[in-house]
C-alpha cells in the first residue's frame, strides 16, 4: 500500500524533495510502514529530460481534486499563489508541509487554524533552520517549558560577511562581493543584508514561543549595511564580535520583544563562535535552560530532508497535531522597540571630545569607553548603561552639538 503525495514547485528544494524520496524510498517505507510515492509535481516548466517526467502537471487542480493524494509539499516560495493553494488543499483534507518562510510568517495563524478545523496538518520545519531541526523540538520536545528567550544567527549569508569582516579585516562591500561570487548571496542581496530573511524566521519561532502570531512588519528590523571595520574593532576591544541576531524575549508585562538587529555579542557566548555560513539558534526554556541548535541553515538536500521528514510525520498522523498552533494577534502585544531596554554601543565623530564626554556623564552616568588602534582624536566610542530605546535616541539628540552619531548597536548578553 502506498501513501500518495505531491510536490508543488520543482526548483532547488522541490527537486531535492523528489530526489530524497526516490533515493531513500526503502528507508522511508520502513519508518512509515508504507511506501511514500510522489504522484504529482506541479511546475509551469517542462522537464522532459527527467526519468519521472510523466508525474509533472501545470494544473493545480490535478493535485487538489485527486482524492488519493494525502500529503503535499509546498516549496514554491512567495505568498501568492502559495497561500491560496495551501489553504485549498487543507480545506480539501490534505496535509501540507512547507519550506516557505515568507508564507508561514505572513499566514501561519490562518493556515494552522484551517488545518485544525479540517483535521489535517500544516508543518514547516524547513522554513527556519533548513536542515537544522528547531521547529519540532520547540513545540514538542520542549513542550514542558515556557520558552522565555530566543537568540539566533539565522542567515548564513550575513554571517559569512561578518566573519570576513571580523577574521579577515575585509570591508562590508568586499565581503558581500565575495559572498556573491561564492554563491552565498543573491545578485540582489537585500533580503539577507537588510534582515528580511532573518525577520521572517524569528517571527515564526516567536509565534511558537508566545502562542500569538508575530508579524514581520510589526517588529524592529535592522540589517548590517551600516557596519564598518571601525565597529568591528571596537567590538573586539569590548571583548566580543558583531552578529546579526534574530531576538525574542517574553517581557514581564505580558508583551513580547522581538527584533532583528546587529548586536555586540561577548566572546563568552556560544553564538560568538558561529562563523561562515553556519547558523545557530539558542532557545532558553524555564526548565531546560539554554539549548543550542547549530548547522548550515540552507542547501538543497538538507532543506529537502526537513521537508520529507515533515511529509513522513504528516502521512503517519490520523488527525491534527494539537501542539503546533498559535492564535492570530496584532502588534499591540509587542513591546515597542523604543521601550525595550538594552546597553548600546555608540560611536561619535566629536567636534568637542571633552564636551561630549562631560554631557554623556551628566546624562548617562559612567560609560565604558572603548579604544582601537590608530583611533582618530575626534572619534569617541563607548558602551552605555542599560537604557530604553527612546532614552538612547533622546541622549543622541541632546549631545549632538558636541558630536555626530556615526553608529549605534545594541549589546545582547548570551
Grid cell for residue 283:
532557545
Q: What is the torsional sign of CA 257, 263, 269, 275?
A: positive
Residue 68: Cβ within 10 Å count:
12
The CB-side HSE value for 358 (13 A sphere, CA atoms) comes to 6
The gap between the terminal CA atoms of the chain, to the nearest Å, is 50
* Nearest-angstrom CA–CA distance, 295 and 237: 28
- The residue among 70, 80, 99, 83 whose CA lies nearest residue 6 is 70
* Nearest-angstrom CA–CA distance, 289 and 378: 44
Which position has the grid cell 485549498?
A: 88
Spatial contact of 122 and 86, defined as CB atoms under 8 Å apart: yes
Distances, alpha carbon 322 to alpha carbons 317, 318, 325, 326, in Å: 11, 12, 7, 10
Spatial contact of 348 and 228, defined as CB atoms under 8 Å apart: no
| 119 three-state secondary structure | coil
Catalytic residues: 201
* Nearest-angstrom CA–CA distance, 210 and 73: 26
| Enclosing H/E stretch for 244 | strand 240-250
Grid cell for residue 128:
527556519
Amino acid at each position: 500500500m502506498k501513501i500518495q503525495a505531491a510536490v508543488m514547485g520543482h526548483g532547488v528544494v522541490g527537486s531535492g524533495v523528489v530526489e530524497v524520496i526516490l533515493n531513500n524510498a526503502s528507508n522511508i517505507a520502513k519508518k512509515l510502514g508504507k511506501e511514500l510515492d510522489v504522484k504529482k509535481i506541479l511546475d509551469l516548466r517542462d522537464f522532459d529530460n527527467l526519468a519521472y517526467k510523466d508525474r509533472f502537471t501545470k494544473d493545480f487542480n490535478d493535485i487538489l481534486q485527486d482524492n488519493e493524494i494525502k500529503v503535499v509539499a509546498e516549496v514554491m516560495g512567495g505568498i501568492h499563489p502559495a497561500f491560496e493553494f495551501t489553504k485549498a488543499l487543507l480545506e480539501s483534507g490534505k496535509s501540507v508541509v512547507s519550506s516557505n518562510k515568507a508564507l508561514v510568517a505572513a499566514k501561519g495563524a490562518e493556515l494552522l487554524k484551517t488545518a485544525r478545523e479540517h483535521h489535517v496538518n500544516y508543518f514547516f520545519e524547513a522554513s527556519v533552520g533548513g536542515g537544522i531541526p528547531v521547529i519540532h523540538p520547540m513545540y514538542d520536545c520542549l513542550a514542558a517549558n515556557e520558552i522565555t528567550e530566543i537568540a539566533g544567527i539565522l542567515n548564513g549569508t550575513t554571517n559569512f560577511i561578518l566573519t570576513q569582516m571580523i577574521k579577515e579585516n575585509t570591508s562590508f562591500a568586499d565581503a558581500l562581493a565575495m559572498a556573491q561570487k561564492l554563491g552565498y548571496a543573491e545578485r540582489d542581496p537585500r533580503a539577507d543584508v537588510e534582515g528580511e530573511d532573518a525577520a521572517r524566521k524569528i517571527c515564526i519561532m516567536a509565534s511558537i514561543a508566545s502562542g500569538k502570531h508575530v508579524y514581520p512588519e510589526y517588529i524592529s528590523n535592522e540589517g548590517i549595511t551600516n557596519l564598518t571595520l571601525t565597529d568591528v574593532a571596537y567590538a573586539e576591544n569590548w571583548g566580543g564580535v558583531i552578529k546579526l541576531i534574530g531576538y525574542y524575549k517574553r517581557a514581564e508585562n505580558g508583551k513580547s520583544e522581538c527584533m532583528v538587529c546587529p548586536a555586540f555579542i561577548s566572546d563568552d557566548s556560544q553564538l560568538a563562535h558561529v562563523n561562515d555560513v553556519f547558523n545557530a539558534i539558542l532557545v532558553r526554556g524555564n526548565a531546560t535552560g539554554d539549548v543550542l541548535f547549530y548547522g548550515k541553515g540552507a542547501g538543497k538536500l538538507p532543506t529537502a530532508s526537513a521537508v520529507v521528514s515533515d511529509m513522513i510525520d504528516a502521512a503517519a498522523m490520523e488527525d491534527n497535531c494539537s501542539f503546533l498552533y498559535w492564535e492570530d494577534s496584532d502588534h499591540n502585544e509587542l513591546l515597542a522597540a523604543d521601550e525595550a531596554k538594552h546597553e548600546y554601543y555608540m560611536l561619535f565623530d566629536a567636534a568637542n571630545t571633552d564636551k561630549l564626554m562631560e554631557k554623556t556623564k551628566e546624562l548617562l552616568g559612567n560609560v565604558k569607553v572603548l579604544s582601537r588602534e590608530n583611533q582618530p582624536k575626534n572619534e569617541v566610542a563607548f558602551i552605555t548603561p542599560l537604557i530604553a530605546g527612546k532614552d538612547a535616541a533622546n541622549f543622541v539628540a541632546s549631545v549632538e552639538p558636541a558630536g555626530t552619531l556615526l553608529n549605534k548597536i545594541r549589546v545582547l548578553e548570551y
